[in-house]
Amino acid sequence: MPTFNIRHTTKYSYEVPVRESANQIILYPKVDGFQELIYQKIQISGNPMVSTHEDYYQNTVGTFTQIEAHSELIIDSWVVVRTHSKSYPNTEKSRKSQWEFYLSIQDQLPYLDFLRNEPIELKDEILNAIPLVKTLEIDPLDYALLLNTYVFENFNYLPGITNVETTIDEAWKIKAGVCQDFAHLLCGFLRFKGIPSRYISGYICPNKNGMRGEGATHAWTEAFIPFIGWVGLDPTNNCLVNDSHVRLAYGRSFSDCSPVKGTYRGNAKHNLEVSVSVEYEDEHEHLAKEEWHLPEEHTPFTVNSYQRNKLDQEMQQQ
């Protein structure tokens, strides 16, 4: 049962003061039998009141506004999360009954939302290239793992060449992207076969073997497997999701799960800095939670081009 300290900081600096900033944050870890929220503190410059609600997908969403003119906006989130390992037992149901289950839910909620793909112009080309199997030859879970490996082996992990608006068609053409693109691709491939799949946003935590996306925001896919439930698949690392992943939200795609987005009135020019740090709790046991605070002066954050592009495009101007 590893316990992780996670700090996620977003800072917007505006060339000239802006006003009427309205924002949405999805920075609240899921709480269930596999994930415990031990502690959370969100501090926002100007100390606005944050209202929270559950959205359609049962994600906790915070909203706040900054009416007064301001030259910067800093959103600082600290969480301590304990994760529990998962096991994915083999079902005793026959392959036929497992695949027939999918036929019975094609028009049912909550699966319906996770069966529909965005319009994909290259659908025929993709279907001719990805593994397609006869349903009686393989279990749904094994097929999902096969597609997970296909994405991992056929697409290059290359930060900086895609953004939040990159489509499945575009990622397919360039055969490259980052975790967000890999998750979108796997969702699309699974949905072609009638397997409900949802996009997951969160963090991947330190692992002694090292993983892509470690210690940063991360994305992966969950597929619904009959008689087992939602199973996490990480195509960026070609693995089943376990206790090294921390879930924030899920939805049909990134647009349902964006950690930070908003609008404001004023000059469109701004600078974005993002920092995410993830550590095991015992690495900083000496730091009491009440000592966590926003520093008076912010030092430059470490940010990769994917994070920069992602959040730049989510902050839209009016």
Domain ranges (residues) in the chain: 3-83+257-317, 95-256
Residue corresponding to tokens 């966590």: 292
Looking from the CA of 216 toward its CB, the CA atoms found within 13 Å total 21
Asked whether this chain's domains 3-83+257-317 and 95-256 adopt the same fold, the reply is: no
For residue range 35-48, list pLDDT tens digits in order: 999 999 999 999 99
- The CA distance from 236 to 14, in Å, is 34
CATH topology of domain 95-256: C8orf32 fold (3.10.620)
For residue range 82-139, list pLDDT tens digits in order: 999 888 777 788 899 999 999 999 888 889 999 999 899 999 999 999 998 887 889 9
Among residues 125, 127, 184, 121, the alpha carbon closest in space to that of 155 is found at: 184
CATH class of this structure's domain 3-83+257-317: mainly beta
Alpha helices (runs of H) in 137-296, residue ranges in sequence order: 140-154, 168-174, 179-192
* Strand-strand pairing, 60-66 and 239-240: unpaired
For residue range 158-185, list pLDDT tens digits in order: 988 998 889 999 999 999 999 999 999 9
Contacts (Cβ under 8 Å, ≥6 apart) of 134:
none
**Predicted local confidence at residue 209, as pLDDT:** 59
Band (214; pLDDT cuts 50, 70, 90): low
For residue range 286-313, list pLDDT tens digits in order: 344 444 444 333 333 333 333 434 444 4
Stated length of the chain: 318
**Whole-structure pTM value:** 0.86
110 preceded by cis ω (within 30°)? yes
**Predicted local confidence at residue 287, as pLDDT:** 42
DSSP state of 116: P
